[in-house]
Chains A and B, each alone.
Chain A
Amino acid sequence: GQQLNQSPQSMFIQEGEDVSMNCTSSSIFNTWLWYKQDPGEGPVLLIALYKAGELTSNGRLTAQFGITRKDSFLNISASIPSDVGIYFCAGHDSTDKLIFGTGTRLQVFP
């Protein structure tokens, strides 16, 4: 099935560092969502974006809906150990189906 392209595939950073990851699509999406998945759990919604160009923050997380509607980025500032997990972008396509990205695995070292 169709999946969005996320990069990087994995990141290994030190506690306190900022993190940036992005997601691209070959087609236009109507919404962009960012999820976090912990081991053995289902994804949990972090941020939802509904308009092209929209910039939204949730605590230390900031995400933007690309102006072309084909991309989005997620930034995490001042990372902490509990930020460890897999981050997925997702978007609703023209048929309103929610498509997920391939994931970015984040590891934070103290």
Chain B
Amino acid sequence: EAGVVQSPRYKIIEKKQPVAFWCNPISGHNTLYWYRQNLGQGPELLIRYENEEAVDDSQLPKDRFSAERLKGVDSTLKIQPAELGDSAVYLCASSLDQAEELFFGSGTQLSVL
């Protein structure tokens, strides 16, 4: 069975441009997470979905970041406009439910120039 699939793997944009990341979780996993990992740091949670409901978005910078999980399956994370400090790896993860093991995708490495 396929793991968590993310695209694109790499994205290079100029500051002030918009960017979007896509995630397809493991089939049947109800909980979906978006994490941001800065260079040399551990992942930090941006948002957690239970099915299609965002149940923890306290760390999401809502002025420029948005996310959606239509139909409780795939999810998209958007940044508009991007800033230099947004350069990081954006990781998507899923789990059967919130108490279960997280499975991570390979991430999207974003470079904002």
Contacts and interface: CB of A to CB of B under 8 A. Distances in A.
Interface of A: 1, 3-4, 40-45, 48, 88, 90, 96-98, 100-103
A3 B56 contact: no
A96 B98 contact: yes
Given A40-B106, A42-B104, A45-B101, A1 B44 contact: yes
Question: Binding site of B, secondary structure by majority: helix, strand, loop or mixed?
Answer: loop
A100 B38 CA distance: 12
Contacts of B98: 96
A42 B59 contact: no
Given A1-B59, A97-B56, A45 B42 contact: no
A1 B45 contact: yes
B104 A3 contact: no
A4 B4 CA distance: 25
Q: Which of A4, A48, A88 has the most CB of B within 10 A?
A: A88
B45 A45 contact: no
B82 interface: no
B102 A102 contact: no
B67 interface: no
Interface string B15-53: 000000000000000000000000011111100000000
Nearest to B44: A1
Nearest to B93: A42
A59 to B, nearest CB: 17
B42 A90 contact: yes
A43 B102 CA distance: 9
A3 B106 contact: no
Nearest to B99: A96
15 contacts: A1-B45, A1-B59, A3-B42, A4-B42, A40-B107, A41-B104, A42-B107, A43-B104, A45-B101, A96-B98, A97-B56, A98-B102, A100-B42, A100-B43, A102-B40
A42 B44 contact: no
Contacts of A96: 98-99
Interface string B101-113: 1101111000000
